[in-house]
Amino acid sequence: MIAALAMLAVTLAPAPALADLADPSAQSAEQQIRAQRQAFNGAIAKGDLAAITAVLGENAQIVTGRNSVVFSGRAAQIGMW
């Protein structure tokens, strides 16, 4: 259930500058998103609030799957977890 919630809508930490994305030696945007997502899901699975906090952006948003409750902001999400 928690993993399903995490998959619905999560705003992750800020992406790198566009200049960094243009650098072929830098990770692709897709790779960065996948890495952040993996870190977030791992943190949820472990119940590691510090790691969840590190991955979430300040303005993170999540919409729950059952009743569409919206949790806005990092603090609200940390309270939810």
Angstrom distances, CA of residue 48 to CA of 25, 38, 42, 53: 31, 13, 8, 9
Q: What is the pTM of this model?
A: 0.56
Q: Average pLDDT of 64-81?
A: 88
| pLDDT tens string 23-60 | 655 678 889 889 988 988 999 999 999 998 988 888 98
Are 33 and 22 within 8 A, CB to CB?
A: no
Terminus-to-terminus CA distance in the chain, angstroms? 12
